Amino acid sequence: MTRDYSNFLPRGAYAAGSHAKLDPLQALGWHPFFAQQISVDDLSSTPPVRIVEVHRSGLHALGDDIDTVLPPRADVTVGDWLMLDPSHPRSSRVLERTSLIKRRAPGTDRQEQLIAANIDTAFIVTSCNQDFKVARLERYAALAFEARITPVIVVTKTDLVPDPQSYIDAARAVSDMIDVVALDARGDAPRTELTPWCKPGKTVAFLGSSGVGKSTLANALLESQSIETRTIREDDAKGRHTTTRRELHAMPNGCLILDTPGMRELQLTDAADGINDLFADIQDLAARCRFNDCQHETEPGCAVLEAVDEGILDAHRLGRWRKLMAEDAFNSASLAERRSRDKAFGKMVRGVKKIKDVRR
Ligand SMILES: Nc1nc2c(ncn2[C@@H]2O[C@H](COP(=O)(O)OP(=O)(O)OP(=O)(O)O)[C@@H](O)[C@H]2O)c(=O)[nH]1
Ligand SMILES: [Zn+2]
């Protein structure tokens, strides 16, 4: 399969010519939040680079006239900004992030994984069919809030149903802090409807289940088909096949689209704040319960249950809130346990090493 590099950063971005005013770093999404973290001396000795893709063998980093691969690190992910230390690339400083998506890895040890950093807007995509589930939208929205990303709900395939309005209304009811856009993802609509969030130097990403139209939307914004042709097969050193893909793409206007694997099967981890933001109405009610530790189950003077009785709060919404909170509590507790276990193990290893050193 031939790959289209024409809109991959950085040179393709200039070739498009429509954002000639952006300097090379700005074209990668550099902005004052990052500049404030460094001194002029830092800038000359350790130039900033952005991680544009992550694969098993390393981190692909781009900067002003820099195109290099750094050793993989668990504390760095796609979208990150690093101050590249030419003599010790492995210990290049990671700049503080504007946002961070992380998840719990599938499998038994369920370690925390960094998914993507420094995203400004997350388009939460769903379609007007059986994919549409309010609970799923809430989960993604809570995740975006937790990661400090602006969520926008995009309802696709409006052309396939006689009355998309019911879907739009349900999406709007998720939160009055979240904009909702409804469209046919094929054609020109994405370019006009999503422009408010797709400004030069901003980074956007798409979340949502398979088949809802994420690639279709991204390609419409990129004005190309590069997302479909993104995967290539490469032989790694052991002769096995690994898939690598470009993850950060530039729109003709200089906005960046982050298209990364691992956005699916998202579990909420340490997301209590994000959930609380999304369900602020329930939080407000809970603050009025008679007991501080009210579980909103059978307690007298429970303002949450009263609101349900009075039809102010939807019982299903309350149920979904409970479920998300329980999921988050479960995941966060096991993460905390893991951390303390790791700490204890580290202590033991150091202890054993000391004994060995003494015996030597
Ligand atoms: N009629 C109609 N079809 C759409 C719309 N959006 C996407 N499609 C079609 O739905 C199919 C799936 O779209 P994709 O863009 O590949 O979906 P995706 O979310 O990227 O899926 P994954 O890559 O599996 O995550 C394609 O055949 C699209 O042409 C829409 O708004 N209307
Ligand atoms: Zn209560």
Tell me which residue has tokens 């204890």: 344
What pLDDT score does 267 carry? 59
SS3 labels along the chain: CCCCCCCECCHHHHHHCCCCCCCHHHHCCCCHHHHCCCCHHHHHHCCEEEEEEEECCEEEEEECCEEEEECCCCCCCCCCEEECCCCCHHHCEECCCCCEEEEECCCCCCCEEEEEECCCEEEEEEECCCCCCHHHHHHHHHHHHHHCCEEEEEEECHHHCCCCHHHHHHHHCCCCCCEEEECCCCCCHHHHHCHHHCCCCCEEEEECCCCCCHHHHHHHHHCCCCCCCCEEEEECCCCCEEEEECCEEECCCCCEEECCCCCCCCCCCCCHHHHHHHCHHHHHHHCCCCCCCCCCCCCCCCHHHHHHHCCCCCHHHHHHHHHHHHHHHHHHHHHHHHHHHHHHHHHHHHHHHHHHHHHC
Query: With a 6 A CB cut-off, is 72 part of the ligand 1 pocket?
Result: no
Annotated binding-site residue? 238: no
What pLDDT score does 354 carry? 59
pLDDT tens string, the chain, 360 residues long: the values are 333 434 444 443 433 444 456 789 999 999 999 999 999 888 889 999 999 988 888 999 999 999 999 999 989 999 999 999 999 999 999 999 999 998 766 555 667 788 899 999 999 999 998 889 888 899 889 989 989 999 999 999 999 999 999 999 999 999 989 999 999 999 899 999 999 999 999 999 998 888 899 989 999 999 887 665 333 334 433 333 334 456 888 899 889 998 876 665 555 666 777 888 889 899 999 999 999 999 999 999 999 999 999 999 999 999 999 988 888 887 777 766 766 766 666 666 666 555 555 555
Q: Note the ipTM here.
A: 0.97
What pLDDT score does 227 carry? 63
From the alpha carbon of 206, which atom of ligand 1 is closest? 19
The residue type of 305 is L
> Which of 128, 136, 184, 215 for a ligand 1 pocket mutation test, highest count of atoms within 8 Å of Cβ?
215
For the chain, how big is the Rg over CA atoms in Å? 23
**186: CA distance to ligand 1 center in Å?**
8
CATH of 279-359, one of 3.60.20.10, 3.40.50.720, 3.20.20.80, 1.10.40.50: 1.10.40.50
Annotated binding-site residue? 311: no
**158: CA distance to ligand 1 center in Å?**
12
In 10 A of CB 351, how many CB atoms? 10
Query: With a 6 A CB cut-off, is 139 part of the ligand 1 pocket?
Result: no
CA 112 to chain centre: 14
**291: CA distance to ligand 2 center in Å?**
7
Domain coordinates of the chain in residue numbers? 19-94, 105-258, 279-359
The CA distances from residue 114 to 12, 36, 177, 182, in Å, are: 28, 24, 26, 30
For residue 262, give the ligand nearest its CA.
1
Query: With a 6 A CB cut-off, is 211 part of the ligand 1 pocket?
Result: yes
**127: CA distance to ligand 1 center in Å?**
9
**308: CA distance to ligand 2 center in Å?**
11
| Tokens of residue 321, six digits | 């809130």
From the alpha carbon of 158, which atom of ligand 1 is closest? 31
Is the domain 105-258 a CATH 3.90.1150.10 member?
no
What pLDDT score does 43 carry? 85
| Tokens of residue 296, six digits | 């909103």
The pTM assigned to this predicted structure is: 0.77
Query: With a 6 A CB cut-off, is 260 part of the ligand 1 pocket?
Result: no
In 10 A of CB 26, how many CB atoms? 14
